[in-house]
């Protein structure tokens, strides 16, 4: 997403205190309650203890993000973009990976883009789709913009989620609930300046394609991750997202004592979920658009690895996997 998006930028005075490494849970969120304290204690443990839920491996997600950032800038047409594509192909070389290549007409002319889709089968008839974008912003190609949070963190998150799903579908097993598909979108960013026609190329292409071949009818939920590696995690309630999915994500966060990280304010954000929203697919954008003091890390050379954390990715992974579980349960009672 981009600063040029149609949204109301809010000024958050407390964000000026965000330069140091945040504690967990962060004090700026007010009094630390017992569930948060317990969640923190549980995260410190190497082994599960009574009363502690097992946690997602955010450290692994962070390490994937670190490797992805090490590739360098990944703007469309750059050597880094080709390396990023190859990185994803390598990670999924033993999975059912689809390379969804297509030509997009952009302000810089026609370009070849690649979405990547990996599928993990489930017992139930239907699909939950998790998405992220992986490329970096083309207009920032001359400032060494590596998008640690914007593109890499959520790529790392989905790669670590893939490891979890792969383990659960090893040796011919299938997931207990719906199939889960992971989509790594290309061309989310504008080539010139954000508009309906100059943005979200990968998601617009895939939603249209899945509309033509009737795949959309199988999709029970679309969950988009964007910019949620931020150490200072603060996920807004994106206002075009589907109400029942927002409720399930809130419920999932509550299970781990994470509710203060989610939905403390509302904001519309144009992002890769909209082509699915527009086609009636239940969709949610899980996004933290407040990135650094006065948003100074967003779309700047400041978007570097030190601004994201394994802790935030643990929170994200816990909530994503629990949300999938809740969607599977929800369907048990039609
Ligand atoms: Zn961006």
CATH number, domain of 318, equals: 3.40.630.10
- What sign results for the dihedral spanned by CA atoms 306, 310, 315, 319? positive
pTM for this prediction: 0.87
Bridge partners of 308? 230
Task: Judge whether 188 lies within some domain.
Answer: yes
Owner of token pair 């080539």: 191
Ligand 1 mean position to 41 CA, how many Å?
Answer: 34
CA 196–ligand 1 middle distance (angstroms) = 15
List the one residue out of 245, 269, 250, 268 whose CA is nearest residue 260: 250
Residue 240 counted as domain residue = yes
The residue ranking higher by pLDDT, 10 or 94, is 94
Query: What are the Cα distances from residue 78, in Å, to 69, 287, 303?
Result: 14, 26, 19
Answer yes or no: is 5 within a domain.
no
User: What value does the mean pLDDT take over residues 195-220?
Assistant: 97
Distance 34 CA to ligand 1 centre (A): 36
Does residue 28 form part of some domain?
A: no
Q: What percent of the chain has pLDDT over 70?
A: 83
pLDDT at 17 over 60: no
* pLDDT score of 107: 97
Contact 279, 211 (CB under 8 A): yes
Question: Where in the sequence is the domain holding 73, given as residue range(s)?
Answer: 56-330
Mean pLDDT across the chain = 88
pLDDT at 46: 47
The pLDDT tens digits for 132-190 are: 999 999 999 999 999 999 999 999 999 999 999 999 999 999 999 999 999 999 999 99
Residue 18 lies in a domain: no
Looking at the chain, the whole-number percentage of residues with pLDDT higher than 90 is 82
Please tell me the distance between residue 299's alpha carbon and the centre of ligand 1 in angstroms: 6
Query: What confidence tier does 53 reach under pLDDT thresholds 50, 70, 90?
Result: low
**Residue 333: what pLDDT?**
46
Q: Give the pair of three-digit tokens for residue 95.
A: 């999975």
Residue 203 has pLDDT above 60, yes or no: yes
Mean pLDDT of 37-66: 72
Residue 208 Cα, ligand 1 centroid: separation in angstroms? 22
Cα 292 to ligand 1 centroid, rounded to whole Å: 14
Residue 91 resides in a domain: yes
* Backbone φ, ψ for residue 226 (5° rounding): -150, 120
Residue 42 in any domain: the answer is: no
Question: For residues 3 and 298, is the Cβ–Cβ distance under 8 A?
Answer: yes
pLDDT tens figures, 96-136: 899 999 999 999 999 999 999 999 999 999 999 999 999 99
CA 227 to centroid of ligand 1, rounded, Å: 8
* Count: domains in the chain: 1
Q: What are phi and psi of 313, to 5 degrees?
A: -70, -30
User: What is the residue whose two structure tokens read 């394994």?
Assistant: 310
Decide if 104 is inside a domain.
yes
């Amino acid at each position: 997403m981009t600063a040029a998006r149609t949204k109301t930028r809010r000024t958050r005075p407390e964000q000026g205190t965000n330069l140091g490494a945040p504690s967990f849970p962060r004090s700026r969120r007010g009094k630390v309650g017992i569930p948060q304290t317990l969640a923190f204690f549980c995260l410190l443990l190497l082994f599960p203890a009574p009363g502690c839920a097992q946690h997602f491996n955010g450290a692994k997600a962070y390490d994937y993000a670190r490797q992805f950032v090490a590739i360098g800038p990944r703007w469309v047409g750059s050597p880094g973009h080709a390396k990023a594509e190859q990185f994803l192909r390598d990670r999924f070389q033993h999975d059912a990976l689809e390379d969804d290549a297509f030509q997009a007409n952009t302000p810089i002319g026609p370009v070849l883009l690649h979405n990547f889709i990996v599928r993990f089968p489930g017992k139930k008839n239907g699909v939950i789709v998790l998405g992220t974008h992986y490329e970096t912003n083309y207009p920032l190609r001359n400032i060494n913009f590596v998008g640690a949070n914007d593109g890499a963190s959520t790529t790392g998150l989905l790669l670590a989620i893939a490891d979890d799903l792969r383990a659960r579908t090893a040796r011919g097993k299938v997931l207990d609930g719906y199939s889960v598909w992971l989509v790594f979108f290309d061309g989310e960013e504008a080539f010139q300046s954000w508009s309906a026609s100059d943005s979200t190329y990968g998601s617009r292409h895939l939603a249209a394609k899945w509309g033509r071949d009737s795949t959309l009818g199988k999709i029970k939920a679309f969950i988009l991750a964007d910019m949620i590696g931020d150490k200072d995690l603060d996920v807004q309630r994106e206002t075009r997202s589907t109400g029942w999915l927002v409720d399930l994500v809130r419920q999932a966060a509550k299970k781990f004592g994470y509710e203060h990280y989610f939905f403390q304010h509302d904001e519309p954000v144009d992002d890769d979920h909209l082509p699915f929203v527009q086609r009636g697919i239940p969709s949610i954008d899980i996004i933290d658009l407040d990135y650094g003091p006065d948003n100074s890390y967003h779309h700047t050379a400041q978007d570097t690895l030190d601004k994201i954390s394994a802790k935030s990715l643990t929170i994200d992974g816990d909530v994503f996997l629990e949300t999938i579980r809740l969607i599977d349960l929800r369907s048990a009672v039609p």
